[in-house]
Structure 1
Amino acid sequence: MRDDAPARLSTGPTRSFPMARSILALMLREMSTRYGRTPGGYVWAILEPLGAILVLALGFSLVLRSPSLGNSFILFYATGFLPFNIFNDISNNVARSLKFSKGLLVYPSVTWIDALLARFVLNLLTGLLISYLLLGGILMLSETRSVLQIGPIIEAMCLTALLGLGVGSMNCVLGGLFPVWDNIWSIITRPLFLASGVFFIYDDMPPLAKEVLWYNPLIHITGLMREGFYPMYAPGYISIAYVTLVSMALLVLGLLLLGKHHKDIINA
């Protein structure tokens, strides 16, 4: 070998897509923590919303002759409950993402945005899978006579995910800086299940209630979801622009505040 030959530096293998790898690792960790420690695992994630839908359908079928749309109680309440459930899971879990991954955020390769996105993606994929299985099963096993419109269904799910991420990001900041906020939020949102169109459609409400409920973004999402399953239903009150604006405003503000205060939240 020539003495004047340039020495070649030995470099280790470079890690490609470090952010994606961190997010995937955090997702796998949460999957094993949440679903791997109980018998049945993901089965319970499907049985819980199914049980809630069945209870709603059975209870209201005893006092009403037919649902507000169609002839199937279980489909009507599933199309309202499942988007709300996805929003609730995403917003609640994203709000606790920094606290859940606090021990791993001390490593430079894991950032606060990784923790946020890992919980968002995992809960979104889980919610979409559960919704697909339950709605698909309902359509196959019952005579719903539905003609699906895929466009409104996809729009409803996208808006649900965006709103859940926006609310969750904002609550992550408020709950991290002011621990009492978690209690305040739980009190504020208790009527949300009733005011989001799970039990009813917006069109059946009196004028005063309509004026108030219109400002709840979830009432637009449940209406859009039902439009995809009931072709004869054409809700004129839905504003995709309003839901998007509210979601993006919360998301941008939440991310800006997290970028500034995430160290305070982690070290609290």
Structure 2
Amino acid sequence: MRAAQPDLVSRLATLVSRERRTRFAGGALSQFWAFLTPLSWIAFVVIIFRILNRSPAIYVPPEIFVATGVLPYIVFRQTIASISRTPAAHRYMKYISGIKDADLITATALTELVNALVIATVLFVAISIAFFVPVPNNPAGVLIALTVGWFLATGIGRFIAVVGMLSDSFARSVPILLRPVFWLSGIFYTATELPGAAQELLWFSPTLHVTELLRESYFIGYTSPISTMLYPVLFGATFFLISYPIEWHIIRNRLSKERL
């Protein structure tokens, strides 16, 4: 067991390095595009706020309020999208000795975690400087909230990736199924603004918990009436664990066909 561990770590490190080189093959320009998507989302929502003359429930500039809602959502969406397409996108890597679907999925997830934390840190700092916004009240809590969002997405993404090996139709339908998440993640609102019935209903949205956790850490004095770290962690872990029996079933079927 001890001899196998360094091999696993080395294999994952190589795959993560390869993933980053492939994704940012265009150099500085390709890295700029990684920041352009969240910037575009933030700008779009801020423009809507300005047009509707809407003020955030928290007494802060709209730019940072929107950023604290958009960035957790983008981490969630991008992580699921990258992991769910990994088995198909890197199917030829499995012909290399020792490379498994689980290794490819794990490497993609780790790559997304690094990218998410770097992008969020840079954008939060840039917005703070540009709009004279105070630094986060609890920077460690902000990073933890983003990591919780990534873990939630990793569990769901792994489940989608594995089930997608059985059903291509399911994999194609996932972007449609995830569209409502945009409206359930607290990008435009806080839980304190919701009436009692809506608050009870949206408690079941794990992404809203992530956004509320992040805003609690970012803005001094803000306390969410619903946020809990346990729920999104258990939600992601459930999908993560369910994916393993499905994956083992696929592997057994694959081995049976090879023997025939």
| Matching residue of 1:115 | 104
Report the structure number with the largest CA radius of gyration: 1
| Matching residue of 2:115 | 126
| Matching residue of 1:213 | 202
| Matching residue of 1:72 | 61
1:251–1:265 distance in 2 versus 1, CA, 3 Å:
farther
| Matching residue of 2:192 | 203
Q: CA deviation at 1:16?
A: 8.3
| Matching residue of 1:43 | 32
Q: The residue matched to 1:200 in structure 2 has which SS?
A: coil
For 1:1-268, list aligned pairs within 5 A. Answer: 17-37=6-26, 40-145=29-134, 147-262=136-251
Q: Whose helix proportion is higher, 1 or 2?
A: 2
Separation in structure 2 between the aligned mates of residue 94 and residue 129 of structure 1, nearest angstrom: 19
Gaps of 5+ in 2: none
Q: CA deviation at 1:20?
A: 2.4
1:21 maps to amino acid:
S
1:102–1:202 distance in 2 versus 1, CA, 3 Å:
same
Work out whether residues 169 and 255 of structure 1, in 8 Å CA contact, stay in contact via their aligned partners in 2.
no
2:13 maps to amino acid:
L
Q: CA deviation at 1:65?
A: 4.6
The TM-score with structure 1 as length reference comes to 0.86
1:57 maps to amino acid:
V
Q: CA RMSD in A?
A: 2.4
Separation in structure 1 between the aligned mates of residue 28 and residue 120 of structure 2, nearest angstrom: 22
1:33–1:264 distance in 2 versus 1, CA, 3 Å:
farther
Separation in structure 2 between the aligned mates of residue 234 and residue 39 of structure 1, nearest angstrom: 39
Gaps of 5+ in 1: 1-13
The count of residues paired between Structure 1 and Structure 2 equals 254
| Deviation sequence 1:21-54 (CA, Å, 0-9, x none) | 3223322332233321487111110122112111
1:115 maps to amino acid:
L
Q: Percent identity?
A: 23
Work out whether residues 70 and 230 of structure 1, in 8 Å CA contact, stay in contact via their aligned partners in 2.
no
Q: CA deviation at 1:147?
A: 4.9
Q: CA deviation at 1:17?
A: 2.3
1:97–1:264 distance in 2 versus 1, CA, 3 Å:
farther
Q: CA deviation at 1:122?
A: 0.7
1:123 maps to amino acid:
E
| Deviation sequence 1:145-187 (CA, Å, 0-9, x none) | 4552134313312211210110011101221111111233222
